[in-house]
Amino acid sequence: DGGITQSPKYLFRKEGQNVTLSCEQNLNHDAMYWYRQDPGQGLRLIYYSQIVNDFQKGDIAEGYSVSREKKESFPLTVTSAQKNPTAFYLCASSSRGASSGVNTGELFFGEGSRLTVL
Amino acid sequence: EDKVVQSPLSLVVHEGDTVTLNCSYEVTNFRSLLWYKQEKKAPTFLFMLTSSGIEKKSGRLSSILDKKELFSILNITATQTGDSAVYLCAVHYGGSQGNLIFGKGTKLSVKP
């Protein structure tokens, strides 16, 4: 079945450690995104990528890094520089409209990864 | 500053009630407005609205967009406990490939 797979679902880390969250999609989507969700804050964009080997910072990129070496994969590293890393992280992807070639805006989400830093 | 505001932030109703969730926005170069339902983890897509005044319907859920007044509503009739979720509104806007900005969501609780 087509979809987005995030792993791990739950992760505990000590302060000062880097951690990498995995996101894989088999939807053949060009664009991929990472969002952070905190209670009462909605979804905030961390990084996004419209094409392989290219990515842009979102609204809250500080303390995070990404790579996009393959179309299917968009891993997110939460570095020790991120001051409040405990959160729920959502990966998403989107396709281009068939006629316009422009991103349609509709996102398909993974199940999320809940990171707790102790 | 581009923004999306949802109201109310939370709502408690009883089964059978009808609810209306609101989403207002201020963005440059509006493209579309999207509604998602988030029960526990992954948000799931409900509607995409691009034109004013055209109601989108799916079962007991419906939504409409007003591009003049810059808002959308999501209606749920005859609510059921399974409708309990956070409902997210997002607006796709901007040039080139565009950007997507989310509201904070409305948490709906439906009591039996």
Strand partners, B26: B3
Instruction: Write out pLDDT tens, residues A58-117.
Output: 989 999 999 999 999 999 999 988 889 999 999 999 886 544 445 666 889 999 999 999
Contacts of B40 (CB under 8 A, 6+ apart): none
Residue type, position A117, single letter: V
Q: Which of B33, B97, B106 to mutate to test the interface with A (most CBs of A within 10 A)?
A: B97
Q: How far apart, in Å, are the Cα atoms of B37 and each of A64, A106, B20? A: 27, 13, 14
B82: phi then psi, degrees, rounded to nearest 5: -70, -10
pLDDT tens figures, B34-89: 999 999 888 999 999 999 999 999 999 999 999 999 999 999 999 999 999 999 99
Residues with Cβ within 8 Å of residue A109, at least 6 apart in sequence: A4, A90, A91, A92, B42, B43, B44
Q: Quick one: what percent of chain B has pLDDT higher than 90?
A: 82
Whether B2 shows a pLDDT value over 90: the answer reads: no
Is residue A93 a contact partner of residue A4, using CB atoms and an 8 Å limit?
yes
- In this prediction, residue A49 carries a pLDDT of 92
Contacts of B45 (CB under 8 A, 6+ apart): A106, A107, A108, B34, B35, B36
Res. A41 pLDDT band, cuts 50 70 90: confident
- Pairing of the two strands B10-14 and B106-111: parallel
Residues 49-88 of B with CB under 8 A from A: 88
- B90 vs A contacts (CB less than 8 Å): 43, 105, 107
- Top pLDDT among B42 and B18 is at B18
A26 conformational bin, left if phi > 0, alpha if psi -120 to 50, beta if neither: alpha
Q: Beta strands B19-26 and B3-7: pairing type?
A: antiparallel
If pLDDT is split at 50, 70 and 90, which confidence band does A23 have? very high
- pLDDT value at residue A70: 96
Q: Nearest by CB to A105, which of B32, B104, B105?
A: B32
Residues from chain A contacting residue B88 (CB–CB below 8 Å):
42-43
